[in-house]
Amino acid sequence: MKIKFRKLLILMLAASGVLGAQAEETKPNVLFIALDDLNDWIGCLGGHPQTITPNMDRLAASGVLFTNAHCVAPACNASRSAIFTGQSPHRSGIYSNAQVMRDVLPDATLIPKHFTDHGYWSTGSGKMLHYVTDARSWNDYFPPKETEMPLPKTLYPEKRPVSLPVGGPWQYVETDWGPLETSDKDFGGDYSVTEFVGNYLKKEHDKPFFLACGIYRPHEPWFVPAKYFEKFPLDSIQLPPGYRKDDLDDVPALGKRFAHNRYFDHIQKEKQWKQAVQGYLASIYFADTMLGRVLDALEEGPNKNNTIVVLWSDHGWHLGEKQHWQKYTAWRACTRVPLMVKVPEKLSSKLPKGTTPGTVCEQPVSLLSLYPTLTELCGLPTPDACDAPSIVPQLLDANTSSDPVPTFLEDAASLGVSGKGWRYISYRDGGEELYNIDQDPHEWTNLAKHPEHQAKLEQLKAFVPKTFAPKPKVKVKDLPSMRWKKTSDPTKILKPNADGSNVRLVFVNQSPVNAKIHEVSAEMELTEKALVKAESEVEIKGRPGSVWAITKESGELMGYFKLGDRMAKGVIPKNAAE
């Protein structure tokens, strides 16, 4: 009698749709993969003819490849903060690497926390935010989330630089490259990240998971095991296809200022251009191999058919295009990024057939859409704070049109707008650029002043926000610290090598005496610049490489600081006057 009643109950529940609702409550897993500083130099995007990326290519072939995807900002912090909060820089105020996400958005709910709040287990490894983990947003992490250091130990040369001599105090210490005689495992870093992620994918889990995999390469420095360099013999290296010597001739003044940052000239002077390209290609190949470890673990494990896979890079990278090195520009070499999405069939009610393998979408999309896309695919509510639309319509039909998407520069007023076949750049001083990408993929010819293209320019210009959130000042506590050198002997002060534009300097006096701030000249003469009272602070400007002597009001030397390559604070310790 009990058995018959149970069968009857099951039939009744099935008829009423209750069992169907329960089945729909089984949520998809998410594998969220980020690569750092990767432009379009992957096989399926055709950015460089020598690149080796079989694993990125196979992921793209298994799902949807977005060939017109763009970063939210061409800087790690601004880009990643936007992705993980869903908030655009022009609304959040986060535009640069120097800012601290939690100072500006203390209450923002990041993607992993949102998933945890809706029944998921959120975990991962590697760099997903800007050199922090944001422990509150994860159930666990490797390295442990409490350390707030997302990068596992990585092998680097004992003596550096290896390849690129330091050109001045303006130079980023990690701009260097070279092969290492080591194994992938002993190299650590991304190998350790993918080991953690791969092991997690090989197991069954009680809860659906949001699993992050932050592959650090090809971020600088470009040191990876030697076998990855061997695939790119130096005498065979081809320079970037997008390079043209006169490429800045038709660029407005502020665009030229964004372009010129000394690195490219210095690299050419040191005859290291081909070596650098080799290092970037080797680092991409290494990153791709690490990705292959993760994809293999997924394919071979129990989560293959119930896991959504998303791969993206936070922004691109210049290797001489527009006479520029690094990032921070609104040109396509920097804004265009890999984006791949794979959804198995029968996993998401929004995409019951899953993604069609080998689909290519040419519509403009922004990484800002990742948050709402994942919530929609997983049947979760989308936070009101999300500023961009989901790209599920483009996953359903790659021909579904989408609006042009913006990429915001760090001056809180300049930006690029990427449409289908066209790109527009607007600078805060009124300068403009317009490019026909279908005919000019490397953006060599600025059409902004051509009368016949004004209608297209105005069409894209309409997507420039009317207002920009102000850029909050970095809190003093979050400024990097200059090293305090205690001395009463003026001959012990280091000689300055000041070079570059002025940056923000804050001197924090923790001592019980008033202190004078003196700039040290190349002739080792002291010029008083400010007085900082006891237990207070003062803000001034200084150039990278400058040296600052600290004296008592009486003139007695207490010590000094030397400024590095960016804004900083100098903390005068409590015992400075002793």
Summarize pLDDT for 100-154 with one digit per residue, the tens: 999 999 999 999 999 999 999 999 999 999 999 999 999 999 999 999 999 999 9
The answer on pLDDT for 336 being more than 50 is yes
Residue 335: per-residue pLDDT: 98
Average confidence (pLDDT) over 557-575: 97
Span 350-380, pLDDT tens digits: 999 999 999 999 999 999 999 999 999 999 9
Alpha helices in 176-262 (DSSP H): 184-187, 190-201, 226-230, 253-259
Q: What angle do CA 101, 144, 473 make, to 5 degrees?
A: 15
| CB-based contacts of 399, cutoff 8 Å, min separation 6 | 363
The answer on pLDDT for 17 being more than 90 is no
Q: How far apart are CA 314 and CA 292, in angstroms?
A: 20
- Cis, peptide link before residue 143, omega less than 30° from 0: yes
Span 149-182, pLDDT tens digits: 999 999 999 999 999 999 999 999 999 999 999 9
The answer on pLDDT for 441 being more than 70 is yes
Active site residue 450: no
The residue behind tokens 């959040």 is: 92
Q: From the candidates 130, 266, 442, 518, which is the catalytic residue? A: 130
Active site residue 213: no
**If you ran DSSP here, which 8-state letter would residue 238 be given?**
P
**C-alpha to C-alpha distances, 432 to 406, 435, 457, 494, nearest whole angstrom:** 14, 10, 9, 44
Phi and psi at residue 309, to the nearest 5°: -115, 130
Q: How far apart are CA 136 and CA 109, in angstroms?
A: 10
Q: Are 229 and 282 in contact (CB under 8 A)?
A: yes
Residue 2: per-residue pLDDT: 38
Span 284-319, pLDDT tens digits: 999 999 999 999 999 999 999 999 999 999 999 999
Residue 26: per-residue pLDDT: 81
Q: From the candidates 76, 213, 361, 386, which is the catalytic residue? A: 76
Residue 37: per-residue pLDDT: 98
| AA letter at 180 | L
Sheet holding 485-486, edge to edge: 485-486, 557-562, 547-552, 515-520, 526-532
Phi and psi at residue 87, to the nearest 5°: -105, 130
| AA letter at 116 | T
The residue behind tokens 């790659």 is: 398
Report the predicted TM-score, pTM, of the whole model to 2 decimal places.
0.93
Q: How far apart are CA 156 and CA 2, in angstroms?
A: 69
Residue 25: per-residue pLDDT: 60
Q: Which domains does the chain have, with CATH numbers?
A: 18-403 (3.40.720.10), 480-572 (2.60.40.780)
